[in-house]
Structure formats: C-alpha cells, structure tokens
Amino acid sequence: THSHLIAPSVLAADFANLERDVKMINDSEADWFHIDIMDGVFVPNISFGFPVMSAIAKHAKKPLDVHLMIVDPDRYLQACKDNGAEVITVHYEACTHLHRTLAAIKELGCKAGVALNPHTPVSLLKDVIQDIDLVCLMSVNPGFGGQKFIERTYAKVKELRALAVENNTDVLIEIDGGVGLSNAGKLLAAGADVLVAGSFVFNAADPIQTVKDLKAVDPT
C-alpha cells in the first residue's frame, strides 16, 4: 500500500513573502515543492527563473519538483540540478530528442519526468515509457494557475496506468492543474500518485489544513 504525494505549486505563493510561504509548506504535510518555470515562449506567461528557484531551495526542506514549461529544455537541465531540483519534468511537446533529454536528466542524478499537454495522447509515450520516472498529465493548458480542471484527465490517468503495466514498468502519475478536494478522490481512484495544487492550497484560509485534507483523501 502506498499513499499519494501532495506537491503545492509555489506559482500560487505570495512572491513578496516567499520565505514565509516556503516555511508554511515545510510545516505542512506536503511532500514536494512544485516549481513552475515558464519562458514566455512555450507558454504565454513568464513565471520565475533560477535565482528565485535557488532562493526557494535555500529554505525548502522537501524535494523540488521542477516543471519546465520552456522550449529546448536541454539548455537548462544542469542549471536545474545546480539550483536544487530532484525531479526535472520536461514537456513532450518541447523535446525533439526526448529519449536523449531523459538520459541527460538521469545522468545528473535527478528523476526524469515528462509532461503532456491536454491535447497530447498518452499513447505517444509508448516507446519511452521505460525511461520515465514520472509523467505529469496537464489537466489545464499550462501557463497559469487557477484554471478549470479538464475532465478528460481521468481517462488519461487510466490509459497511462495501463500503458505502464503493459510495459512492465512503474511511473509516478502526477496531475497538474485545477486540482482540489472536488476531484482528488476520483483522480486517486483512476491511479494518480502525485497531486499538484496551487491556488487550492495558497488561496485557502488555512493552507496547512488544506494540505492535510488533500493528503487524507481516499480514492473514491
């Protein structure tokens, strides 16, 4: 038996009170820090880069799960590692030589993740599934927090679990976008392992209790 992981997304933190918010996540039952890096090219928004990530890493007492929403991520894998990443997730849609990119991430000693946009089918991972530690299924179009969860995601979780089983391999299935108490149970029942939550945690009146509630959800 294994329990699911909760990864609050720092994108929804108060950047003027980053130390406070990072310590809040330290004090909560959260498992990882989800770090969203956007370049304004792959997605229509710019979040923050390595100076901010390293400031987060300085205070974080939990692994940094870095989600690169950038074109040609190979250029920045070493910087991710140097600034404290334990998981590095690149977008399928941003990698021409995904197999090579995954090998480079592992070479750095990090867990290798692949994120799929809502329009990208799980089946495209067939020939690379054994090289992946984590698949991040985007349940919104990446670029912004606070968007509406796309219902099709449940089916993709099941398809991905089946693909991993067929290929005798195990991957962590992470869900990113619009996650909260209304859909967490159903996502876990479908086979999700890691729930990213940005606005649901940081906009809550009591974020520490909200993380606790997400952590306590049973598959339904």
Catalytic residues: 36, 176
Residue 197: partners with Cβ closer than 8 Å, 6 or more residues away: 6, 7, 8, 9, 179, 180, 210, 214
**36 among annotated binding-site residues:** yes
- Least distance (Å) between residue 195 CB and ligand DX5: 9
**4 among annotated binding-site residues:** no
Q: Taking a C-beta distance cutoff of 8 angstroms, is the pair 10, 56 a contact?
A: yes
Q: Which of 80, 179, 190, 195 binds ligand DX5 (CB under 6 A)?
A: 179
Q: Which of 6, 13, 33, 34 binds ligand DX5 (CB under 6 A)?
A: 34
Closer to ligand DX5 by Cβ: residue 1 or 84 = 84
Q: Which does 156 bind (CB under 5 to 8 A by kind): ligand DX5, Zn ion, none?
A: none
Residue 113 interacts with ligand DX5 (CB under 6 A): yes or no: no
**203 three-state secondary structure:** coil
Q: Which does 145 bind (CB under 5 to 8 A by kind): Zn ion, ligand DX5, none?
A: ligand DX5
Q: Which of 4, 5, 6, 9 binds ligand DX5 (CB under 6 A)?
A: 9
Residue 183: partners with Cβ closer than 8 Å, 6 or more residues away: 149
Residue 142 interacts with ligand DX5 (CB under 6 A): yes or no: yes
Determine the Cα–Cα distance for residues 165 and 171; give it in Å rounded to an integer.
9
Its sign, for the CA torsion 162, 167, 169, 174, is negative
Q: Which of 85, 90, 98, 196 binds ligand DX5 (CB under 6 A)?
A: 196
**33 among annotated binding-site residues:** no
Residue 176 interacts with ligand DX5 (CB under 6 A): yes or no: yes
> Among residue numbers 65 through 84, which ones bind Zn ion (CB under 5 A)?
67
Q: DSSP states of 132-152 as a string?
A: -SEEEEESS-TT-SSPPPPTT
Provide the 10 A C-beta neighbour count for residue 77.
21
Q: Taking a C-beta distance cutoff of 8 angstroms, is the pair 179, 195 a contact?
A: yes
Q: Which of 178, 183, 184, 192 binds ligand DX5 (CB under 6 A)?
A: 178
- Least distance (Å) between residue 1 CB and Zn ion: 27
**78 three-state secondary structure:** helix
Give CA separation, 102 vs 117, 161, 195, 212, in Å. 18, 20, 22, 33
The annotated binding site for substrate is made up of 9, 67, 143-146, 176-178, 198-199
Please give the residue ranges that form the binding site for ligand DX5 (CB under 6 A): 9, 11-12, 34, 36, 67, 140, 142-147, 176-179, 196-200
